[in-house]
Chain A
Amino acid sequence: MTVPMVEALQVRKSFGRLEVLKGIDLTVDPGEVLCLIGPSGSGKSTFLRCINHLEKIDGGELSVDGELVGYRRSGDKLYELRDREVCGKRAEIGMVFQRFNLFPHMSVLDNVTSGPVRVQKESSTTANERARHLLERVGLADKVAAYPNQLSGGQQQRVAIARALAMSPKLMLFDEPTSALDPELVGEVLDVMRGLAEDGMTMIVVTHEMGFAREVGDTMVFMDGGVVVESGDPKVVLTSPQHERTRAFLSKVL
């Protein structure tokens, strides 16, 4: 039996008195592409951010590759991990944000090498070489010296993907990667993501791109009001949703 890449058991999260996640159960196998859909405020992004511990969960259990996120179990006690240990875990998970969040004061090349050089203590020569290779892979070999604000949104997001890939992650999280893009730039980012999926990367994608989810996703999960309402093969969920809420949501976005 393979260890699931991500396993969530009754994950809960509240902001103040607002409960955003009300017991999420979910499993992602290695190599699986899971697309997370749902109306805004349904907790998709929060759940994604819990996976690499940008948010701390309040209840339940969340583990990545068989290890708890943010805690160490010893006997029947959970010990909170130190900053250093959390950082080590985060380095194995790539994350791509809706608003790119490239470092504006660094060139494209420095953005991509910042993780390997600063966190993995790689030499800058090997990091540069790998960064150039990754930028070539996302179609931006000619932009190594550019600064982020000289690039279009689609190009910035492709740099952000290269930056995440530079850490050789075992899991990639995408938080609405195309929502901030002009419609004609969405395709180039989805192309890169499709290539990643074909190469066997484990991916969790929060998205509104139903076409992409249908074509690339292995599983589709529909979340609403902090719970998983329905999950299954994207083609099945999209064409014959079982729940009324899924039907209502899909009728608005399709």
Chain B
Amino acid sequence: MTVPTGPSTPPERKPSGPHKTVPVRHPGRWAASGVILVLVAMLVNTLFFSGVVRGGVEEGRFQWPIVWKYLFVTPVLKGIVVTLELTVVAMVVGIVLGVVLAVMRLSPNRLLSGSAWIYIWFFRGTPVLVQLTFWYVGITYLYPTLTLGIPFGPAFYTVNANSLVTTFIAAALGLSLNEGAYMAEIVRAGIISVDEGQTEAAQSLGMRKSQTLRRIVIPQAMRIIIPPTGNETISMLKTTSLVIVIAGADLFAATQNISNANYQIVPLLLVASLWYLFFTSVLTIGQFYVERHYARGSSRALPPTPLQRLRQDLFRIRPQPVPAVVEPTWLPGRERAP
């Protein structure tokens, strides 16, 4: 304390000794925690310890041994491969298509922006289940032979649609084209979120429009684009299960085939669910790190990774506060022209 002493100063005040501080109590939180603990106990019990009588025989309610038995069988693993392939193909094609459509929609040319609008309108406006069925059944019905050649002119190459459009091709096509429409809107939202000043600064340096988009706008738009794209990927992984309607050989179809044969319907649904959960968890972790990467330059300190946070919680090491603004230096030792 630097209070000047003098006749008018009040008597010096000091704390009257060490106190015990009592934190505020939260009885509501304790009650809620109690309720949740009971519910968790019930869940664990019903999952692993309760039994049920089926056909006169008492057995475990969830039949985990059967689940475990089918979790790694070859047809299931093959189904997983198909599911992952479809997810990757649909997302890659969807993202590329989405970027192209987004750029088209932002074009000053009415024909380009209009046709992109129509595309998005059509593919967002019809259910993906209908689109999948259409690609598989409709294409071969409408176009029994597919031809490569000059429009309205001679044909160079003709192929039977039935042999070209396999289940996988139809599934990949349906999912990709549908995803493109959604990604277009996500990418467009990202692009228009970037301040116009950024484009102007890039242009004033002499950058071409394509360079400005690739080097300046898209990297900044990524921060807006990544989180919904992660959601789309997770959603796509699960949406691939719809290909069962066109006899796709994905994870869900594989488990359904097994249960159709052995009537272990619930355990095989659990097999499928566990695998979907596993892969969506992996994707969620991946999304966290990708988002962190594109947060460069947007926040002063990057958020800690879960591992870092765990370490902090364990060892009670709090993150050092980052200074809000670095002290301005007043042109130290700048040589002035004479």
Contact = CB atoms under 8 A, between A and B. Distances in A.
Interface of A: 52, 54, 83-84, 87-95, 97, 99, 101-106, 114-115, 118-120, 137-140, 142-143, 146-152, 154-155, 160, 163-164, 167, 185, 188, 191-192, 195, 198-199
A6 to B, nearest CB: 15
Contacts of B206: 87-92, 115, 119-120, 167
18 contacts: A52-B204, A54-B200, A89-B206, A92-B206, A93-B204, A101-B195, A102-B201, A114-B202, A114-B205, A139-B332, A147-B296, A147-B297, A148-B297, A151-B326, A152-B328, A164-B204, A164-B205, A199-B337
Contacts of B205: 90-91, 114-115, 118-119, 163-164, 167
Contacts of A106: 297
Interface of B: 195, 197-198, 200-209, 211, 215-216, 219-220, 296-298, 300, 325-326, 328-332, 334, 336-337
Given A104-B298, A139-B331, 18 more contacts: A87-B203, A87-B206, A88-B206, A90-B204, A92-B206, A94-B204, A97-B201, A103-B198, A103-B216, A103-B220, A114-B202, A119-B206, A120-B206, A139-B332, A140-B329, A142-B329, A185-B328, A188-B328
Contacts of B337: 195, 198-199
Contacts of B208: 83-84, 87
Contacts of B298: 104-105, 149
A93 B200 CA distance: 13
B58 to A, nearest CB: 63
A248 B203 CA distance: 37
Contacts of B334: 137-139, 191, 195
A105 B194 CA distance: 12
Most A Cβ at <10 Å: residue of B201, B204, B336: B204
A185 B332 CA distance: 14
Contacts of A150: 300, 325-326
A155 B204 contact: no
The 5 closest A-B pairs by CB, nearest first: A91-B206, A101-B201, A139-B331, A115-B205, A95-B204
A45 to B, nearest CB: 11
A118 B205 CA distance: 9
A105 B297 contact: yes
A99 B200 CA distance: 11
Nearest to B205: A115
Nearest to A139: B331
Contact of A195 (B297, B330, B336): B336
B84 to A, nearest CB: 31
Contacts of B215: 114, 118
Contacts of A138: 331, 334
B145 to A, nearest CB: 43
Contacts of A115: 205-207
Nearest to B338: A198
Nearest to B206: A91
Contacts of B330: 139, 188
Given A104-B298, A148-B297, A149-B300, A139 B329 contact: yes
Contacts of B195: 101
A118 to B, nearest CB: 6
Most B Cβ at <10 Å: residue of A84, A93, A101: A101
Contacts of B211: 118-119
Contact of A152 (B204, B326, B332): B326
A101 B197 contact: yes
Contacts of A140: 329
Contacts of B300: 149-150
Contact of A97 (B197, B219, B329): B197
A118 B207 contact: yes
Nearest to B198: A101
Contacts of A142: 329
B325 A152 contact: yes
A11 B328 CA distance: 41
B197 A99 contact: yes
Nearest to B216: A103
B293 to A, nearest CB: 11
